[in-house]
């Protein structure tokens, strides 16, 4: 499978060091637990959803590994009932995006949902100073047949290499943000 060749070439690993491989669905172990234990990502051969998921693993390996590690750590704590943290992780995994900018005024316009001002009044500045990077694989799939209701949950990050990002990649920034969302030690 070409995806496995790309994963091997990129050195994709789970947070526990397992080599990431894309395999047909098998067994009865849960999706996230299987990835954490074996590095095997269940990938249906004819599924665009799964194909986009694999592409996001290739583009954002630290973020995907962090999402998986957090899911796997949380499952035993939930007692068979999915909790708020895993809901948030799933929503970001399926429908997340990064808003990339160091322009505080443009970021404030996004946060304030001041769309006309952002996209009309400041459109030239927006084109120069802000990027939107979708990493939610379900949103990527839906973008093949776009419709007005497609939305993303956004994480604001600084451009890689900027003073604010301290040279961290977008992938590193997203993974670090996620790491701060986990359960706090008591």
Q: Is residue 145 part of a domain?
A: yes
For residue 185, the model assigns a pLDDT of 45
| pLDDT confidence tier of residue 110, bands split at 50, 70 and 90 | very high
For residue 163, the model assigns a pLDDT of 63
Cα–Cα dist 107/130, whole Å: 9
What are the structure tokens assigned to 51, written together?
A: 């194909």
H or E element in which residue 54 lies:
helix 48-59
Q: Is residue 186 part of a domain?
A: no
Using the 3D structure, point to which of 81, 112, 138 is the last residue of a domain. Answer: 81
Query: Half-sphere exposure (CA, 13 Å, Cβ side) for 11?
Result: 2
Indicate whether this model's pTM tops 0.85. Answer: yes
Residues 20-71 pLDDT 10s: 999 999 877 889 999 999 999 999 999 999 999 999 999 999 999 999 999 9
For the cut 80, the answer to whether the pLDDT of residue 119 exceeds it is yes
Length, in residues, of the chain: 186
Residues 88-104 pLDDT 10s: 999 999 999 999 999 99
Instruction: Count up the domains in the chain and report the number.
Output: 2
Are 2 and 67 in a shared domain? yes
Are the C-beta atoms of residues 67 and 31 closer than 8 Å to each other? no
Are 17 and 67 in a shared domain? yes
- Domain holding 104, by residue range, is 91-165
Question: Quick one: what percent of the chain has pLDDT higher than 70?
Answer: 96
**Backbone region of residue 51 per phi and psi (left: phi > 0; alpha: psi in -120 to 50; beta: other values):** alpha
Are 120 and 49 in a shared domain? no
Are 77 and 96 in a shared domain? no
């Amino acid at each position: 499978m070409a995806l496995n060749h790309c994963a091997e070439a990129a050195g994709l690993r789970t947070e526990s060091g397992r080599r990431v491989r894309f395999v047909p669905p098998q067994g009865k172990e849960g999706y996230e637990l299987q990835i954490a234990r074996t590095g095997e990502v269940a990938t249906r051969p004819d599924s665009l959803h799964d194909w986009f998921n694999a592409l996001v693993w290739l583009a954002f390996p630290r973020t995907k590994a962090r999402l998986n590690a957090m899911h796997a750590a949380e499952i035993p704590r939930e007692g068979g009932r999915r909790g708020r943290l895993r809901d948030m992780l799933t929503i970001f995994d399926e429908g997340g995006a990064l808003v990339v900018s160091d322009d505080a005024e443009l970021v404030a316009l996004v946060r304030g949902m001041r769309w006309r001002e952002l996209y009309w009044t400041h459109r030239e500045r927006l084109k120069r100073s802000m990027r939107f990077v979708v990493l939610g694989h379900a949103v990527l799939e839906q973008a093949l047949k776009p419709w007005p209701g497609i939305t993303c949950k956004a994480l604001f990050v600084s451009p890689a290499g900027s003073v604010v990002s301290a040279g961290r990649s977008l992938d590193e920034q997203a993974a670090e943000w996620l790491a701060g969302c986990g359960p706090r030690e008591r």
